[in-house]
């Protein structure tokens, strides 16, 4: 595609700096991603990697901690050693100018020639964002090329804190230098939504209020907080998943066709659709918090409040279902149901578009509603549920599917990790799959009043059992919002 962000300066030096290099995110995601990009020869040839954190550690110790996540094959061990030879570590504080001057001097040694570019990944707690970005601006900006800053969520806790962070960042950097990362935008099936909608004639005429009854966007995890409840408790499931990942998917499902595939044309349409979304009210939401399943095993025997890191009597929801409404010509009256939760019955992320009943039914109520399902994880798939005549002599009907399961259709294709795509996008300068400041502002407008009401009025979440489908009230919410569940469809699952 001929648009901004498809080319990088392969021959010039690039320095990739991970701030927070000793943390969880760096160990589990950033270092593995950099290794995979290096292994697949997708990075500029002259790239060096710096880690920076307060910890008094070494690059050897970081390597040892990253080992379980790197997926190194036997034949790659020599290349893997070469990757680590390009890695360096500097210990320093996040609010001391001289430490950032030391980092800048270390980086400069590898910037030979007339052009050199820098990337900074802020894998840091939000409490230090402001100090760190000021010190980067004053001491570590690239003098021979561009500097790009990758900002990891959370982008604030509500409208006010998000605006404060946005104002702070925009006072230091231009918007084209900022990459607010939401890793869901790097997932294969989320990226596929654009092509699916705007590259196929078959969907266009039915993608509206006249044909679609409801749209569900679901995120489920089969495990609890796994001892990290204290961190999770600061945010809760709405801030952690719904206000960012699920809302981003909603914009791609609901937006109008952009003028081109230029990143800003796409992001303009995402902002437009968010502007049409009404603010959420408590009556449109079901909140839940998981409790132990006495008949379960392992982690299922502990509820959210049993986690010693969770404050006593916490009302933080671990499950939320919410109905959003888009007040525009295409979607007026169509409920968008967002559901997300921990400690549920399965791991799943999907978009489920349910069409209206067939008008003028001649089959005595036997036809079930058509559904288009886009499965984001696990086992990427796109399938459409539809009615067919049952094979054989009898004239009966049953549900089946048109099935595009990626593991079958693209058997030998390796799908990259979401972070691989997104970090490569930053090297290339493409902001298509990153969140713009006005988009972020609209997202917080939708959720902030609800979040404040939950906290100020201490709205107690409904308990649900570890390993269940979540609170039963969520099923009632779906029924009220034009989603019908027949239970008759059977997915013939292959071994994915």
Catalytic residues: 245
For every residue of 5-46, DSSP letters joined together read SS---TTS-EEEEEETTTSHHIIIIIHHHHHHHHHTT-S-SS
Angle at 351 between CA 355 and CA 296, to 5 degrees: 120
Nearest to 186 by CA among 444, 426, 410, 447: 426
Sign of CA dihedral 45, 51, 52, 57: negative
Q: In the chain, what is the straight-line distance between the N-terminal and C-terminal CA atoms, in Å?
A: 31
- 16 token code pair: 């990739």
DSSP sequence for 176-238: GGEEEE-GGGGSHHHHHHHHHHHS-TTTGGGSSTTTEEEEEEEEE-SS--TT-HHHHHTTHHI
Task: Give, as one character, the DSSP assignment of residue 300.
Answer: G
| Helical (H) or strand (E) element with 81 | helix 77-85
Nearest-angstrom CA–CA distance, 494 and 489:
16
Rounded Cα distance between 81 and 158, Å, is: 44
344: closest CA among 237, 457, 454, 231? 237
Q: Tokens at residue 87, please?
A: 């890695």
Report whether the peptide linkage leading into residue 209 is cis, meaning its omega lies within 30 degrees of zero.
no
Question: CA 111 → CA 15, 273, 434, distances in Å?
Answer: 8, 43, 27
What is the C-alpha separation between 93 and 381, in angstroms, rounded? 45
According to DSSP, residue 242 is labeled I
Phi (first) and psi of residue 82, to 5 degrees: -65, -40
């Amino acid at each position: 595609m001929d648009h901004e962000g498809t080319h990088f300066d392969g021959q010039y030096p690039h320095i990739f700096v991970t701030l927070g290099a000793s943390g969880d995110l760096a160990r589990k995601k950033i270092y593995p991603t950099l290794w995979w990009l290096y292994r697949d020869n997708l990075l500029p040839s002259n790239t060096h990697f710096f880690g920076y954190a307060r910890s008094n550690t070494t690059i050897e110790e970081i390597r040892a901690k990253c080992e379980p996540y790197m997926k190194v094959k036997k034949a790659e061990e020599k290349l893997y050693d070469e990757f680590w030879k390009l890695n360096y570590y500097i210990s320093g504080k996040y609010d001391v100018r001289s430490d950032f001057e030391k980092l800048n001097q270390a980086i400069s040694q590898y910037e030979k020639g007339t052009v050199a570019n820098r990337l900074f990944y802020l894998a840091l707690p939000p409490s230090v964002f402001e100090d760190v970005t000021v010190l980067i601006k004053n001491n570590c900006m690239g003098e021979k090329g561009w500097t790009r800053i990758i900002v990891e969520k959370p982008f604030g806790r509500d409208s006010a804190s998000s605006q404060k962070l946005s104002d702070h960042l925009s006072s230091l950097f231009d918007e084209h230098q900022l990459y607010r990362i939401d890793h869901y935008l790097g997932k294969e099936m989320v990226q596929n939504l654009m092509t699916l909608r705007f590259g196929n004639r078959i969907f266009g005429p039915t993608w509206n209020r006249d044909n679609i009854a409801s749209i569900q966007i679901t995120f489920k995890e089969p495990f609890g907080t796994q001892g990290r409840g204290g961190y999770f408790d600061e945010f809760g499931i709405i801030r952690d998943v719904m206000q960012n990942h699920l809302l981003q998917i909603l914009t791609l499902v609901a937006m109008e066709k952009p003028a081109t595939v230029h990143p800003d044309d796409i992001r303009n349409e995402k902002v437009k659709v968010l502007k049409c979304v009404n603010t959420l009210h408590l009556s449109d939401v079901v909140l839940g918090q998981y409790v132990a399943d006495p008949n379960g095993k392992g982690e299922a025997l502990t509820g959210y409040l049993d986690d010693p890191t969770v404050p006593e009597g916490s009302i933080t929801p671990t499950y939320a279902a919410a109905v959003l409404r888009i007040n525009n010509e295409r979607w007026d009256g169509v409920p968008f149901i967002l559901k997300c939760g921990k400690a549920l019955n399965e791991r799943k992320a999907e978009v489920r578009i349910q069409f209206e009943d067939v008008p003028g039914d001649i089959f005595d109520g036997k036809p079930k509603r058509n559904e288009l399902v886009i499965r984001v994880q696990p086992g990427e798939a796109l399938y459409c549920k539809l009615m067919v005549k049952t094979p054989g002599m009898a004239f009966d009907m049953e549900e089946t599917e048109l099935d595009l399961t990626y593991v079958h259709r693209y058997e030998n294709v390796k799908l990259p990790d979401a972070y691989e795509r997104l970090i490569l996008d930053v090297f290339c300068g493409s902001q298509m799959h990153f969140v713009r400041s006005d988009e972020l502002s609209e997202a917080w407008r939708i959720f902030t009043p609800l979040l404040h009401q939950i906290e100020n009025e201490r709205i107690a979440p409904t308990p649900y059992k570890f390993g269940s489908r979540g609170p039963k009230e969520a099923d009632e919410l779906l029924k009220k919002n034009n989603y019908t569940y027949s239970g008759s469809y059977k997915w013939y699952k292959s071994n994915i």
